[in-house]
Chains A and B, each alone.
Chain A
Amino acid sequence: MNNQEAKKEMEDLLKHAIAPARETELRRDLWPQMLSKLEEQSAPVNKVPWFDWALAAILSAVLIFFPGSIPALLYHL
């Protein structure tokens, strides 16, 4: 069996299980979805990751409870 025959045989088998798509007509206008995607994607991202908040909280606690560490911190900055 050559390549063409093998391809034809597989074509027939596939068509037996999967017919060509018949309903290819778009049933509604997708512009409203497109517009919301554009708005969603162009919105500025202000979200701060949770670990940044955790780090800031730990640092604040250290500065409040151990004020003596402030010079050391400033030295390392």
Chain B
Amino acid sequence: MELLERFAAGDLEAFETLFREHQREVYAWIVRIVRDSGIAEDLTVETFWRIYKNRSRFRPDGNFQAWTRRIATNAALDHLRHARRETSLPENLPAAAVADSAVLLQTREHIRKAFSDLPAKYRLVATLALVEEESYSDIAQAAGISESLVKVRVFRAVRLLRKKLNSLGVKVNSQ
């Protein structure tokens, strides 16, 4: 019996093998969305818990990697939705290496604030498309939406960010 068939049948050893094969990739994807290693570890475990729970819905001839990424994206999105009001982006977030003046620091803070305030679904696509430079097709596949909807969400995220930044006094060209 193939590994995926055994997993779908509820074999714990098969699940462990799949977990060990894919945990790094799932973590790497999630940490790029949530940008916090501790949270990404928890969400990786949560992702595999959801995978295990829904194993009977997985078709062994299907693409396990794509299915895993979709579930990981949903877990990260759920986290962004719930954590939105409680947390902002971590303080130690890496920023581009530029000379820091007070004005630059303040601008950076405003940008992070505006970004943290984005609704979760826009923050997800904005992080992946604008910061991580993932392709629209990869984002669409991971989020389970169409490529054109990804484009729409990126456009709306840019518009919301511009509006928020302008209200915070950061000059951004308006259309």
Chain A residues at the B interface, C-beta cutoff of 8 Å: 1-3, 6-7, 9-11, 13-27, 29-31, 33-34, 37-38, 41
Q: Which residue from A14, A15, A37 sits with its C-beta under 8 Å from B49?
A: A37
Output the least CB separation between B61 and chain A (Å). 25
Q: Determine whether the beta carbon of A7 is less than 8 Å from that of B35.
A: no
A-B contact pairs, 29 of them (CB 8 A): A1-B175, A6-B158, A6-B159, A6-B173, A7-B154, A7-B155, A10-B130, A11-B130, A13-B170, A13-B172, A14-B130, A15-B131, A16-B98, A18-B94, A19-B94, A19-B95, A19-B96, A20-B32, A22-B94, A24-B32, A29-B23, A30-B19, A30-B27, A31-B16, A31-B19, A31-B23, A33-B41, A34-B49, A37-B45
**A13-B23 Cα distance, complex, nearest whole Å:** 32
Q: Contacts of A16 on B, CB cut-off 8 Å?
A: 95-96, 98, 107-108, 111
Q: Determine whether the beta carbon of A30 is less than 8 Å from that of B44.
A: yes
Q: Is B31 an interface residue (CB 8 A)?
A: yes
Q: Determine whether the beta carbon of B131 is less than 8 Å from that of A14.
A: yes
Q: Contacts of A10 on B, CB cut-off 8 Å?
A: 130, 158, 161-162, 172
Instruction: Select from chain A the residue with minimum beta-carbon distance to B132.
Output: A20
Q: Which of B56-102 contact A (CB under 8 A)?
A: 89, 93-96, 98
Instruction: Select from chain B the residue with minimum beta-carbon distance to A17.
Output: B111
Chain B residues at the A interface, C-beta cutoff of 8 Å: 12, 16, 19-20, 23-24, 27-28, 31-32, 35, 37, 41, 44-45, 48-49, 52, 89, 93-96, 98, 107-109, 111-112, 115, 126, 130-133, 154-155, 158-159, 161-162, 165, 170, 172-175
**A14-B98 Cα distance, complex, nearest whole Å:** 13
Q: Determine whether the beta carbon of A25 is less than 8 Å from that of B24.
A: yes
Q: Contacts of A18 on B, CB cut-off 8 Å?
A: 35, 89, 93-95, 111-112, 115, 131
Q: Contacts of A14 on B, CB cut-off 8 Å?
A: 111, 115, 126, 130-131, 161
Q: Which residue from B48, B94, B155, B159 sits with its C-beta under 8 Å from A34?
A: B48
**A20-B33 Cα distance, complex, nearest whole Å:** 10
Q: Determine whether the beta carbon of B158 is less than 8 Å from that of A38.
A: no
Q: Contacts of A37 on B, CB cut-off 8 Å?
A: 45, 49
Q: Contacts of B112 on A, CB cut-off 8 Å?
A: 17-18
Q: Contacts of B172 on A, CB cut-off 8 Å?
A: 9-10, 13
